[in-house]
Amino acid sequence: MASASVTRRPRTALVYDERMQKHASPFEDSHPECPERFSLSLERVQEYGLDQRCVILPSRAATEEELQLIHSKKHVELAKSLDGCDDTARLQEVFCRFNSVYMNKHSYGLALLAAGCAIDLMKSVLSGEVDNGLAIIRPPGHHAMTEEFCGYCLFNNVAIAAKYAVEKMGLERVLIVDWDVHHGQASQYSFYTDPRVLYFSIHRYEEGNFWPELRESNWDYIGEGSGTGYNINVPLNKTGMENWDYAEILHQILLPVASEFKPQLILVSSGFDASLGDPEGEMRLTPAMYAHMTHMLKQLNTPLAVVLEGGYCLPALAEGVALVLKTLIGDPCPAMINNRKNGIREPNEVIKATIRHVLCALKPYWKCFIQDTLDKLPAPAVTYLGRMSICKPDNYPTKEYHPHLPEEQERATLQEQAELRSETRLTLASSQEVVKVFESLNGIKDLTALRVHRYLVAKNSTIPDVQALLGSACQLIIDFESHAEATSAFKREDNSVFVLPRGLSLTGQADAYVSMYSLILPLFYKFYPEWVITRIGSSMPSSDSPLGVLLSLCCGHLSCEGGLWIVGAKSWHPTTPTLEVDFTGVNATALQQNIQNAAETLNLNIDNFIRDPLPVCPELPLKQVQI
């Protein structure tokens, strides 16, 4: 017998303007920043019926005053002077002076619309009208500088929205998350000395050999003056990075910092050019991974606005946009099929080195990174192999400057994407029920159908009862009822992994956050179970206790794919942990011991599993960035 107990849906905004398809290169027909990026993304959203589940915001043009929050009057006037211009020679003369960018006669007005949509989406999530939202807009923005068009970008949509939030609305803490595969150098420049805006970027770098080839895209550029520590670059020095590499970066760096920063607003520069098959990024993220990253940010319970940036493999872009919107609406994330087929591997050695370098630079500024160090390593060396920080050309090409995949590789990746789409469950959340309560497990036959619910409460059942129902599927069990005092995690012969939170050393709420990100979430993505079972029992911890905070975090994060089982609770409803946590009291020694115990009992290599040992890093000299 089953009964629904909780029905709740986030309210999600969607903003776009179909006129944005008119922005196209006047110099070539095959430019990757093409109208189809917009039309196919919107088409995919509509195929899934997602637009019908959103609040549709009207588009509007940004004012010149709003643009000048970031851009100079000279920059705005140059763009305005080209409005309606269809003289290709004139456009060629202007844009050969800028790196990788174009305009046509429609572009100025469309760029105003893009910036205005970003601002209004930000205002909508802050007002409480909606909880989160997505802007499907172009031209993109995160490379557009104060007085310089750059990298397909005319005006910096996200930076303008962030500056509006702090200058016009009085916000003190805005987080920009930029997972476009190119470094958003213009967003970095805009807030490099401003502690009100924390800029976080994961980007392909290759020691400066990848566009935009800037020295200041490296991990040691952490801000300046009062903004020191508020600029975080995670440079990727190798192509082919996978879902689990990005997951490790979010767990070890972004989520701890975000929890300590306590943002009042999160803006995402959501490029999809790290996707499998993208010729510019040459990474291997699947569309489902973008949904998972969005879900992780949602668990910060902060107004969240996602804004489209890059992405040039059209099928991957369209699918990624749709899955991000599904996640914002509240659907469970699709399983990362290729991960389950091929197995989750350890993060790449290059990624692990980069994580250590970033943490070395940030450790003096963020309490969440204060941990005991097992081994003392020399300070990391800084390598730069790029050209742009040394010598910029006088003129840039205006066509045929973008990369292409070899034909055979393109066919192979398109086939892989098609297989992923065919195997990904996309009919989830047809029900509005977030929580489904079962008085008995008898009669349950279709396990897949249960995943339409985020939580499944088995009131009169035990962990073995639920395990028997689930069969041989890989399971992660988080047992809050256990009173174990030492071992925090172990694996059984039945392919299940147990984590015992009561066996963890949790002296304060901050320990709960850091333990979640350093231990439990990495375990989840390392073993990637098909089901998660959480036992609470009659002695459910109070919501403001360290154990209660950890329970809320587990229920939020580990229900990403739906179907998280709650066992032993007579009555239960999801709770939201507060971000009002003082990270001063993080127990570094206890956290280290928790991870050590888990690694040993699970037979894991601790050096591959945690951020320690960190290099011994002297105080870094402040880097001068020309704004």
Degrees, nearest 5: CA angle 501-506-509: 110
Q: How many Cα atoms occupy the beta-carbon half-sphere of 410 within 13 Å?
A: 11
Q: Is 143 a catalytic residue?
A: yes
Using alpha carbons, list the distances in angstroms from residue 425 to 13, 277, 307, 324, 430. Answer: 23, 21, 25, 14, 12
Alpha-carbon span 76 to 59, nearest angstrom: 20
Backbone angles phi, psi at 453, to 5 degrees: -105, 140
Alpha-carbon span 256 to 551, nearest angstrom: 17
SS3 state of residue 132: strand
Alpha-carbon span 588 to 511, nearest angstrom: 9
Backbone angles phi, psi at 435, to 5 degrees: -120, 135
Pairing, β 304-308 against β 433-438:
unpaired
Structure tokens at 45: 């959203």
Task: Choose, from 75, 143, 251, 557, the residue flagged as catalytic.
Answer: 143
Gyration radius of the chain's alpha carbons: 24
- Find the helix or strand (DSSP H, E) in which 439 lies: none
| C-alpha closest to that of 372 among 593, 597, 606 | 593
Alpha-carbon span 297 to 304, nearest angstrom: 8
Which long-range contacts does 71-74 make (Cβ < 8 Å, 24+ apart)?
A: 71/144, 71/146, 71/147, 71/155, 71/156, 72/146, 72/147, 74/147
Distance, first Cα to last Cα, the chain: 64
Q: Using an 8 Å Cβ cutoff, are 421 and 319 in contact?
A: yes
Using alpha carbons, list the distances in angstroms from residue 472 to 15, 52, 467, 494, 527. Answer: 44, 38, 8, 7, 14
Catalytic residues: 143
